[in-house]
A and B are shown apart, each in its own frame.
Chain A
Amino acid sequence: MTVAHDPSPKFQEYAHPEVLVSAEWLAEHINDADLRIVESDEDVLLYEVGHIPGSVKIDWHTDLNDDTVRDYVGSADFKALMERSGIRRDTTVVIYGDKSNWWAAYALWVFKLFGHEDVRLLDGAREAWTNAGYNLTREATEVEPSEYPLVLRDDKTLRAFRDDVLAHFGKPLLDIRSPQEYSGERTHMPDYPQEGALRAGHIPSAVSVPWARAVNTDQTFKPRAELSSIYEGEKGLKSSDEVIAYCRIGERSSHSWFVLKYLLGFENVRNYDGSWTEWGSLVGVPIVKGEEPGLAPVAK
């Protein structure tokens, strides 16, 4: 059973209004048996410090990534994760987290790789809840394990690999990292040197739209008209374009992927999760330095 959508007027303007909820809506539906709230943070301890009552934690390192291969969990591990989180295939999942929902958007993207139908984000991230005056709790959430089917991960529709990027040249690429990372001034994001690469710069022809341009200062998404004026106006992207977005390991670009796909209604947008930590260390691939996108090489 799908839980009713949040009717907030702001959301109705987006291409897919059903993918966002407000703190007020969440507070109203918090005890709904068909809803599961998930917290997904950069900081692995933040959930323990205090979480939305009834929520469960899903951590990107320890739950969503395979611990050996650089890849996401497979079908069996995803099924087990859903079952211990009390999520059925038809459960409505609302995800929220720290850092403007970076990891929440990343988790949502992984849910979508497994085709989970109804996944939404809390607009305004973790702080939306406390800003609205609601309390966090330290009380452990009692989860009744659910049953979840074994589903194949779809790596084609929403995910791009490096060979897909090489074949994509000539079509739009979106780099959502900081201007310094884009120009090649630094090999890593400010403050994140452990996720560096051997070369600095960007993928040829990629346009730069730092992820934060999509959010207001309170971490809520900007209204549709403002988003449209950035991505479609200023950068000239069209909702019919095939777009690949990337960052450094794919989490900030999940956030921009979410904006393009659900808020602006781009039909065909993929996230290249290998991102700069892969591209910037690959032997022989083309790279452009400086503030200009540069020319697209011939697609392979």
Chain B
Amino acid sequence: MSVNSSATSLQEDFRDASVKDRLNLLLEFSENLPELPSRYADHPDLLERVEECQSPIFLFVEVQDDKVELFFSAPPEAPTTRGFASILHELLNGGSVAEVLAVDDDFADTLGLAEAVSPLRLRGMRAMLFRIKRQVREKATN
């Protein structure tokens, strides 16, 4: 699925759900966040800390042949942060550089999550997207 159609499908899934179900959906995402492959699990120093998030979350972006791959690490006691990371993984992983960079910076605000988790908490997802795009930009030009 292209990044664009993933975005539409995520927006529909969340917006069609009641506020309470949006939280359950976020929980499902949280539980489906892929584990770090051992090359990163054994080298936490390679990962970038997302400082804007209240819980410790680290991310790393790989760009190969114009294809973006994302890696996240966040502890189980931070399910909201894991959920945000998992949504971005679903949205962006496997996309092209141009597709990832074209994603709306306000994407986090388009899922109807503000009511369920509060706007302040959503800032964490905005910050993750911002850092992902920055890493993609840096790595695409190398």
> Is B78 within 8 A of A194, CB to CB?
no
Contact with B along A245-264 (1 / 0, CB 8 A): 00000000000000000000
Report B23 CB to chain A, min CB distance, Å: 6
Of residues 93 to 132 in A, which have CB atoms within 8 Å of B's CB atoms? 98
Which of chain B's residues have a CB closer than 8 A to the CB of A192? 54
Question: Do the beta carbons of B77 and A43 come within 8 Å of each other?
Answer: yes
Question: Do residues A194 and B52 form an inter-chain contact, with CB atoms below 8 A?
Answer: yes
Taking CB atoms and an 8 Å cut-off, the chain A residues in 39-53 that contact chain B are 42-46, 48-49
Those of A59-107 within 8 Å (CB) of chain B? 59, 61-62, 98
B83 in the interface (beta carbon within 8 A): yes
The contact size tier of chain B is: 20 to 34
Chain B residue nearest to A45 in the complex (CB)? B79
Is the beta-carbon distance between B117 and A49 smaller than 8 angstroms? no
One of B24-32, B87-95, B96-104 at the interface: B24-32
- Contact (A45, B80) CB under 8 Å given A194-B120, A194-B123: yes
B15 close to A (CB within 8 Å)? no
Per-residue interface assignment for chain A, residues 272 to 300, with 1 indicating a CB less than 8 Å from any chain B CB and 0 otherwise? 00000000000000000000000000000
> From residue 179 to 206 of chain A, which have CB atoms closer than 8 A to chain B?
191-195
Determine how close the nearest CB of chain A comes to the CB of B79; give it in whole angstroms: 4
B residues 51-97 touching A (CB-CB < 8 Å): 51-56, 76-81, 83
Determine the residue in chain A with the shortest Cβ distance to B124.
A194
Bound: A192/B52 CA distance, A? 6
Q: Name B2-31 residues within 8 Å CB distance of A.
A: 23-24, 26-27, 30
Which residues in B have their C-beta under 8 angstroms from that of A46?
Answer: 77, 79-80
Residues of A within 8 A of B24 (CB): 48
Closest Cβ–Cβ distance, residue A154 to chain B (whole Å): 26
A48 close to B54 (CB less than 8 A) = no
Q: Are A48 and B77 in contact (CB under 8 A)?
A: no
A98 vs B55: C-alpha distance when bound (angstroms): 12
A213 → chain B closest CB, angstroms: 21
Bound Cα distance from A191 to B118, whole angstroms: 18
Complex CA–CA separation, A191 to B83 (angstroms): 19
B121 within 8 A of A: yes
Among B51, B54, B115, chain A packs the most CB atoms within 10 A around the CB of B54
A191 touches B56 (CB 8 A): yes
Residues of B within 8 A of A (CB): 23-24, 26-27, 30, 51-56, 76-81, 83, 115-118, 120-121, 123-124
Q: A44-B118, A191-B54 are in contact. List 20 more A-B contacts (CB 8 A).
A: A42-B54, A43-B55, A43-B78, A43-B80, A44-B23, A44-B116, A45-B27, A45-B117, A46-B80, A48-B24, A48-B79, A49-B79, A59-B118, A62-B117, A62-B118, A98-B77, A192-B54, A194-B52, A194-B120, A194-B124
12 A-B residue pairs with CB within 8 Å: A43-B55, A43-B79, A43-B81, A44-B80, A45-B30, A45-B79, A45-B83, A46-B79, A61-B120, A61-B121, A62-B117, A62-B118
